[in-house]
Amino acid sequence: MAKLVPLLLVLFSLLLLHGVDPAPPPHACDPSNPTTKLFQFCRTDLPINQRARDLVSRLTIDEKISQLVNTAPGIPRLGVPAYEWWSEALHGVADVGPTPGIRFNGTVKAATSFPQVILTAASFDSYQWFRIAQVIGKEARGVYNAGQAKGMTFWAPNINIFRDPRWGRGQETPGEDPTVTGAYAVAYVRGLQGDSFDGKKTLSGGHLQASACCKHFTAYDLDRWKGITRYVFNAQVSLADLAETYQPPFKKCIEEGRASGIMCAYNRVSGIPSCADPNLLTRTARGLWRFHGYITSDCDAVSIIYDEQGYAKTPEDAVADVLKAGMDVNCGSYLQKHTKSALQQNKVSESDINRALINLFSVRIRLGLFNGDPTKLTYGNISPNDVCSPSHQSLALEAARNGIVLLKNAFKLLPLSKRTASLAVIGPNAYAARTLLGNYAGPPCKSVTPLDAIRGYVKNAVYHKGCVDSVACSNAAVEQAVAVARNADRVVLVMGLDQTQEKEDMDRVDLSLPGKQRELITSVAKASKNPVVLVLLCGGPVDVSFATNDDKIGSIIWAGYPGEAGGIALAEIIFGDHNPGGRLPVTWYPQSFVNVKMTDMRMRSSGGYPGRTYRFYKGSKVFEFGHGLSYTTYAYKFRTLAQALYLNQSKAETNSDSVRYALVSEMGRGGCDLAKTKVSVVVENQGEMDGKHPVLMFAKHERGGEEGKRAEKQLVGFKSVVLSKGEEAEVEFEIGVCENLSRANEVGVMVVEQGKYFLTVGDSELPLSVNV
């Protein structure tokens, strides 16, 4: 037997290398099983809806109820495997949650970890967003084909508006602007699901590469603030704000992105729980926007309708409320526990359950999981070798480079010389690889800290943590850090926040840097031979006005949470191998903004209330939305002449401000298509360095900024251009009156107002008259 063991090991190795294919991922309708030929749901020649209906018709009531939760058991008698609806892919495939659908415990040990979404958004490059999502979808399928996934439904993107700078989950979003957020939603969904960038691709057999789920529907942007939690929060939202700010990204996600999933949120909106609101889920999403997919609750969002919100009188009422509203699957176990008794009490019908299950199984069929072995079908050629591929990691580096924002650069301190004789790197985030990733991150392919990347340029760079504990910095070793700084020609401070300061279920209570970070920064800057570089790793804004006004702090960089390649990108920018071009996707407010209650959902200013986001906020700012510097300079010039648009509307009316207006709904698609114009802007790189530059175009009504009414300005378009030094390019924008110049009136109806509008790019301005 002793001689036999080595021989068996050799044979086993050979089998692994050459002889035996790994077990296929979980799937139904295996053609080697003759019974599958009897099932209509296995027939790929039939419509998906018909196949799903056939499957549901074969289930017992207990089997049906078992499928209404995220961890759905298998149905062995029909050859249907177990399925996990909950998987995460916010900025890379991740093994997050108590029952993760993804496991990195086999051939695949990691996945490409892109920058946290808030930094990715700062590139204002929708094609780059699409490419990132393409990679995430491809890697998700690669993990699935390796047999390390129990589902292919991913609960991303997060497209809530970053309304309040204290929100712990703002880092997960594309920022505060509905136009940017909607564009991000479309790009992400199309990329992940296997569509083309323009949305015109016909998916092979209707099959999805992976399933995207836009969340959290709707008006969700508070987690836990001063004792108020998302589980009980009742968001009082005006009809105007709902129509103009909170809903547009979800409308875009569904109508243009064609997302196959939506998640309803924990919070109530004007008293009604999101997951129990038929107006939201059925009449709006499925009716007006023609959503075809499944709707999941956030985790335990059904139980809280009875247990915490008291909206339902019994658990069975909660079950009835969500199923009749149009929700399909419960993240949690509440429907598994209480649906049968709700059925026995005639509070729900079997048809309510069937409707939900048809939606659920339709998505699984669209994913190709009922067509036999998925590795022999569309997307079956994606292998574990495609996960963490060199091209994917290169895109992660590109995304970090393009998102990082240069906030201040007095006297052109940056870039630093690569021949810097001595350099001190100080701060708790300089040598913290995990901080680079942000939340909802899986294990990265690789990770290089800012310190290690900087040492690639200055090998003998000296490091000091500065804060004795962590970014909380309750105790700072100021004297030692000052001593290190005094002995260096240049100093880079890497400060900011991490997931102990902002994350899901934890909002901030102020906007200052934690603990003694400010003291450490100013002391080091004062003692340094030359002005210092301050790098901020954080998702939400921080008030660093002390640094903007300090001549000893020459440069400030915001790097968000830049992902697995963020340390490298940061070093490249500091030493001039990459020209920064990112622009802030959120307003950076002063510390005084904490006097505004986070629970106040109003966007518009009113009385002493300052309003929110760049569109309505009337108050001082640390940095503006769209702010971002470069190592070169750009100039803009409108090539288009002043224009006038005429809306021939017989039903035009006059509002209380004596301004004539037309209803967008009355104009119809044809009228809106006619009310468009193209505007060209010439962008010139007038500096000494090549660069990539996001061009942002805003529009403002001549009466814009009137308190409680019109926005100060509104982003109407953005495009990214790459220009060599001295080069110019013409950038064209299509401006639609309905899409770009309309606003919501007090009852939430979109209107186009007569008057003069001004289109602006940088300091350049173009008048545009609209006549009704």
Catalytic residues: 298
Any bridge partners for residue 234, and if so which? 268
Task: Please give the structure tokens belonging to residue 490.
Answer: 């240049």
| Alpha carbon distances (Å) from 420 to 213, 454, 574, 632 | 48, 11, 12, 22
Count of C-beta atoms within a 10 Å radius of residue 441: 25
Q: Which residues of 387-418 are buried (b: 16+ CB within 10 A; e: fewer)?
A: bbbeebbebbbbbbbbbbbbbbbeeebbbbee
Sheet order of strands, 294-297 included:
153-154, 211-217, 261-264, 294-297
| Alpha carbon distances (Å) from 661 to 120, 183, 258, 755 | 37, 27, 32, 9
Any bridge partners for residue 714, and if so which? 699
CA proximity to 533, closest of 494, 589, 507 = 494
Task: Please give the structure tokens belonging to residue 328.
Answer: 């399909």
Sequence-distant (6+) residues with CB within 8 A of 456 are 568, 571
Distance CA 502, CA 471 (A): 11
Q: Exposed, middle or buried, 651 (CB in 10 Å: 0-12/13-18/19+)?
A: exposed
Query: What's the DSSP call for residue 411?
Result: G
| Alpha carbon distances (Å) from 541 to 118, 180, 300, 612 | 11, 18, 30, 14
Three-point CA angle 131, 183, 231, nearest 5° = 105
- 445 phi and psi, to 5 degrees? -60, -40
Q: Tell me the residue ranges of DSSP E strands in 313-422.
A: 405-409
Is-cis flag, bond preceding 384, omega within 30? no
DSSP 712-757: S-EEEEEEEEEE-TT-EEEEEEEEEHHHHS-EE-TTS-EEEE-EEE
Sequence-distant (6+) residues with CB within 8 A of 674 are none
CA proximity to 169, closest of 538, 595, 539 = 539
Sign of the CA dihedral with 347 first, then 351, 354, and 359 last = negative
Q: Which residue has the tokens 């008291």?
A: 310
CA proximity to 329, closest of 306, 287, 299, 309 = 299
Q: Are 533 and 557 in contact (CB under 8 A)?
A: yes
Count of C-beta atoms within a 10 Å radius of residue 371: 21
Distance CA 142, CA 381 (A): 9
DSSP 181-226: HHHHHHHHHHHHHT--TTS----GGG--SSEEEEEEETT---SEET
Q: Are 617 and 587 in contact (CB under 8 A)?
A: yes
CA proximity to 722, closest of 758, 690, 760, 692 = 692
Q: Are 511 and 538 in contact (CB under 8 A)?
A: no
Task: Please give the structure tokens belonging to residue 527.
Answer: 């003692």
Q: Are 716 and 678 in contact (CB under 8 A)?
A: no
Distance CA 85, CA 72 (A): 8
Task: Please give the structure tokens belonging to residue 414.
Answer: 């940056």
Task: Please give the structure tokens belonging to residue 744.
Answer: 């919501």
